[in-house]
Amino acid sequence: MFSLKEKLLGGAGLGRVGARRRFARDEAGSFTILNLFLLMTVMMVAGIAVDAIRFEAKRARLQNTLDRAILAAADMGQTLTPAQVVQSYFDKAGLSEYYAEPQSSSGFNSKTVSATATGTLDTFFMSMFGIDTLSPVASGTAEESISDIEISLVLDVSGSMGEPIYEYVTYYSRRYGSRTYRQNTGTTKLESLQNAAKEFVDTIYASTVDARTSMSIIPYNMQVNAGPDLLAHYTLTNQNTTNYCVDFSTEDFSNTAVSTTSTLYRSDVFDYYYRTMPPSMNGICPDTTYSRILVLADDPEVLKDKIDALQSGGNTSIEIGMKWGTALLDPSAQPAVSGMIADGKVSSSFEGRPFSYTNSDTMKVIVVMTDGINTTEYKLNDAYKGQKSGVWRWWDGSDWKYSVYYPESSSWGDSDGLLEYYWRKDGSGSNRWGLLPEGAPDATELTYYDLWKIMSVDYHAYYLRYKIRNHSSDYYAWDDEPITYVGGSTKDARLSAMCNAAKEEGIIVFSIGFEVTDDSADILEACASSPSHFYRVNGLEITTAFQSIANAIGKLRLTQ
């Protein structure tokens, strides 16, 4: 057994020298100081990180507050001074000590606000290294600069726009409980559109310099009445001089231009709807001043007067409205605009418009609105245009007498059917056959163009063809229809092509579906620049849609 002394010395037989050697070889506790140093280093680094995180959080909060403040201050519709706006934001965020007065400037159709905010943040751990404070800094510049804006308002004025707006009202009674009724609001869809569009005009021009913002209004139903002032600067066919609509082919909807030099086909004048004489010309291309395009205006009162004058009627051709809407934003219309300026029809401040698509300072916008879907469009077949019609007319001094050429007829005693006859029609009902037209040789054979000016297509079919022998085959044979029908599916495809062409040129497209079906909503959403650019509304919600679009056009952008 070892004594306590021997154990301390390393066991029996070990002397003092052995104990020292054993102690020297024992490594226990040799890194205690190093570990303590490392722990202190980690704590210092962690402390610095805490100060850095605090600094970045404060800086980010400061920057976000400043960004919001200068954006609000740069709003050209803001009634408070930039200093008041920025101060208010900093006070509400609890950052008053960081506030510094912003710098602002107002240019032509723009407003800029710049601000820099700085302060001090006491450190927790960096002070051990002599860094007692940090200085978070936030700066930025916000600008509302609408610059040059070109807007086309493409508005549906088809017959359905004259229908009333209904709302659903729920009533409760003890006897019947809760019941919902469809109630007429006393306002038509057109009236609601007019109110919304006028507010749109006011909002746009309240925050822009008039001479930098042009707006065209394109009303459409089955056609678009471009009007004599605009079409005077395009090349048109001359089969009539009273029609200011243009027929487009499918290919025309794949681009945004309407050429001022290539010959455009002037729509034909005819009445397909009614069996009347004289014809009603309200359906195909109304020759009314209220239906004509208003080209590049900048006077809010003129624009609102135009909107107030709109009337509803006819079918729906959204794609033709879009065609003219894009045409008045396309640089190819510059010669027409220059011509209208020379005529005194457009302000001289708009010389050079529509600007090039590459002009970075120009925003081009279309707002297209409809309450329905594309419906049938009617056009004359070539065989029923400029040719002789076989209808003769003669004035007997008191009334017009008509004779219809009817070859190889056996209806007047010609059993062989080899002779040619004329069926004479007059107002007295004494219709008869003859070898010559009534009033020959003074009678005049009408062209189809002249014929459609004095009677409708259906009147001609019924009274001057069918009633000759009361044979249904005389009305119009299936392969002899005078009318070409352009149906809804074809027109939808054309609309899609037109919208795509506009978006490819950088035109911003907003679309509004006013009490539309799901199918129509899908088409309009696809037309818009994005789903957020499409508004599906009912009733008086249309005002909200137009207001939202106006705000979007005048939106602020953070430039730095």
105 is a domain residue: yes
Gap between the Cα atoms of 528 and 523, Å rounded: 9
pLDDT of residue 65: 87
Same domain, 454 and 365: no
Structure tokens at 148: 């040059």
Number of domains, the chain:
3
Cis peptide before 335 (omega within 30 of 0): no
* Helical packing angle, 32-73 and 82-92, nearest 10°: 140
Gap between the Cα atoms of 107 and 105, Å rounded: 7
Same domain, 424 and 511: no
Name the helix (H) or strand (E) containing 338: helix 334-342
DSSP 3-state of 95? coil
* Phi, then psi, of 461 in degrees rounded to 5: -65, -40
CATH number at residue 490: 3.40.50.410
Long-range contacts of 114-122 (CB under 8 A, 24+ apart): 114/70, 114/139, 114/140, 114/141, 114/142, 115/66, 115/69, 115/70, 115/86, 115/139, 115/140, 117/62, 117/65, 117/66, 117/90, 119/62, 121/54, 121/55, 121/58
Provide the strand spans (E) within 474-530: 483-486, 508-514
| Residue 182, domain extent | 151-228+289-378+486-558
Gap between the Cα atoms of 327 and 319, Å rounded: 12
280 is a domain residue: no
Gap between the Cα atoms of 268 and 126, Å rounded: 86
Residue at token pair 């045409």? 327
Residues in the chain: 560
Same domain, 167 and 294: yes
Cα dihedral sign for 513, 258, 194, 363?
Answer: positive
Same domain, 395 and 544: no
Same domain, 399 and 462: yes
Same domain, 198 and 68: no
Gap between the Cα atoms of 149 and 215, Å rounded: 8
Structure tokens at 168: 């659903």
Name the helix (H) or strand (E) containing 18: helix 16-25
Cα dihedral sign for 445, 450, 455, 457?
Answer: positive
Cα dihedral sign for 255, 256, 258, 264?
Answer: positive
For 496-532, give one letter per residue: b (16+ CB within 10 A) or e: ebbbebbbebebbbbbbbbbbeeebeebbbebbbeee
State pTM to two decimals: 0.72
Boundary of a domain, candidates 481, 498, 533 = 481
155 is a domain residue: yes
Same domain, 341 and 413: no
219 is a domain residue: yes
- The neighbour count for residue 113, using CB atoms within 10 Å, is 27
Name the helix (H) or strand (E) containing 308: helix 300-309
Q: Which of 556, 542, 526, 217 is nearest to 534 (CA)?
A: 526
Gap between the Cα atoms of 29 and 35, Å rounded: 10
Gap between the Cα atoms of 435 and 556, Å rounded: 80
Q: Which of 294, 320, 168 is nearest to 227 (CA)?
A: 294
pLDDT of residue 374: 94
Same domain, 192 and 319: yes
Boundary of a domain, candidates 107, 130, 145 = 145
Q: Which of 531, 460, 529 is nearest to 499 (CA)?
A: 529
CA contacts within 13 A on the Cβ side of 455 = 18
Q: Which of 196, 197, 312, 292 is nearest to 244 (CA)?
A: 292
Radius of gyration of the chain (CA): 41
pLDDT of residue 14: 46
Same domain, 338 and 468: no
464 is a domain residue: yes
The tens-digit pLDDT sequence of the chain (560 residues) is: 555 445 444 454 445 555 555 555 555 555 576 666 666 665 665 556 665 677 667 777 778 888 888 888 888 678 889 999 989 998 998 888 888 888 888 754 568 889 888 877 667 556 666 665 666 677 888 877 657 899 999 999 999 999 998 877 777 767 777 777 677 788 999 999 999 999 999 999 886 655 689 999 999 999 999 999 999 999 999 988 888 999 999 999 999 999 999 999 999 988 888 888 888 765 588 778 999 999 999 999 999 999 999 999 989 999 999 999 999 999 999 999 999 999 999 999 999 999 999 987 788 999 999 998 999 999 999 989 989 998 989 998 888 888 888 765 555 444 444 344 566 655 455 556 677 788 889 999 999 999 998 999 999 888 888 877 677 777 776 567 888 889 999 999 999 999 999 999 999 999 999 999 999 999 999 999 999 999 999 988 999 999 999 988 876 444 44
Same domain, 474 and 495: no
444-447 and 388-395 beta bridge pairing: antiparallel
34 is a domain residue: no
pLDDT of residue 493: 97
115 is a domain residue: yes
Same domain, 528 and 396: no
Same domain, 364 and 495: yes
Q: List, in sequence order, every residue forming a beta bridge with 297; answer none if it has no partner.
A: 215
Gap between the Cα atoms of 167 and 540, Å rounded: 10
For 346-364, give one letter per residue: b (16+ CB within 10 A) or e: bbeebeebbbeeeeeebbb
Boundary of a domain, candidates 145, 160, 188 = 145
Gap between the Cα atoms of 489 and 306, Å rounded: 31
140 is a domain residue: yes
Residue at token pair 């280093």? 41
